Amino acid sequence: NAGVMQNPRHLVRRRGQEARLRCSPMKGHSHVYWYRQLPEEGLKFMVYLQKENIIDESGMPKERFSAEFPKEGPSILRIQQVVRGDSAAYFCASSPRTGADEQFFGPGTRLTVL
């Protein structure tokens, strides 16, 4: 039973480019969370999605960041016009249903902006 998959594991972008991070939840999971870990900091919540719906985006920066979780396919976290401050590890987690008590984490995508 495959766990949460994230790709790419490492992504290098130049300032001004776009970054697309993908997350495939565990089989049967319909809830996805994105977290960001800046150097020397803990994980910070960004957004919570269910299939085709954004439930809570209170942690998302107001500009340049967007997320989706379509009916088919992985969840995508998109960062437009990246800046050096976007360099971080981005983690995705999934859970199976409302009332579930654990979030299962993926290995993360390390984004480096040159």
Q: How far apart are the first and last CA of the chain?
A: 36
Instruction: Tell me which residue has tokens 């998302």.
Output: 60
Is the Cβ–Cβ distance between 79 and 62 less than 8 Å? no
**33 in contact with other proteins (CB under 8 A):** yes
102 binds other proteins (CB under 8 A): yes
Q: Within 34-63, which residues bind other proteins (CB under 8 A)?
A: 35, 40-45, 48, 55-56, 58-59
The SS3 call for residue 53 is: strand
Residues in contact with other proteins by the rule CB under 8 A:
3-4, 31, 33, 35, 40-45, 48, 55-56, 58-59, 91, 93, 95, 98-108
